[in-house]
Amino acid sequence: MSFLQDPSFFTMGMWSIGAGALGAAALALLLANTDVFLSKSQKATLEYLEDIDLKTLGKEPRTFKAKELWEKNGAVIMAVRRPGCFLCREEAADLSSLKPKLDELGVPLYAVVKEQIRTEVQDFQPYFKGEIFLDEKKRFYGPQRRKMMFMGFVRLGVWYNFFRARNGGFSGNLEGEGFILGGVFVVGSGKQGILLEHREKEFGDKVNPVSVLEAARKIQPQTSAAKSN
């Protein structure tokens, strides 16, 4: 058992253990930056979205079916992950930059939030130029609700998104639930259907504004849509 008294053998053993741990950590980091462990999204149907209950945020809240938002002129709708998140505020500002062109098309811009905490929605409003509604049952975040937990903080894409938003001058807070991922929808009028469905795959995964505008241009006025059905 003389090898137990050999310092070089002990050093080599510790080095091997360290190298193995480092390799395992590197593999975990590599896998975390692939889509292998990301929550898989299930596409929504028009029937699913139509039946969602939304609530207005005024002094006298009114509950209504979501289809009212797009029934006449279609709509662009942002499902906000967390109003206080600076990444969500950045995406809201991007969508709001489209509002003049959306107004020309007659297409409204809306957002839904999943909770109303203190002044969070009010503080989000300067970044978002459309009306905001409450989705208490979080159905706009389904049909299969997806979460990104702390794995998000080891993804290079998320850190890139962090720096991009910070460099753009956006800031935020940590108020509210922020792990349930959001998205953006462009819905046609009447029964025209879902023209674009962007599901956030990681924190700060923004929709392409060009794609939103292209989808909005495909929205038919309700009269035209009715004739085609």
The single-letter code of the amino acid at 50 is: E
Do 84 and 120 touch, CB atoms closer than 8 A? Answer: yes
Q: How far is the C-alpha of 152 from the C-alpha of 150, rounded, in Å?
A: 5
Residue 3 DSSP one-character state: G
Catalytic residue among 44, 75, 85, 184: 85
The question of whether 41 is a catalytic residue gets the answer no
Tokens of 82: 């967390």
Cβ neighbour number for residue 129 with a 10 Å cutoff: 18
The pair of structure tokens assigned to 107 is 């297409």
User: How many residues belong to the chain?
Assistant: 229
CA distances 128 to 8, 112, 121, 148, 151, Å, are 64, 11, 10, 24, 28
| Active-site position among 69, 88, 184, 216 | 88
**Residue 88 known to be catalytic:** yes
Give the catalytic positions in this structure. 85, 88
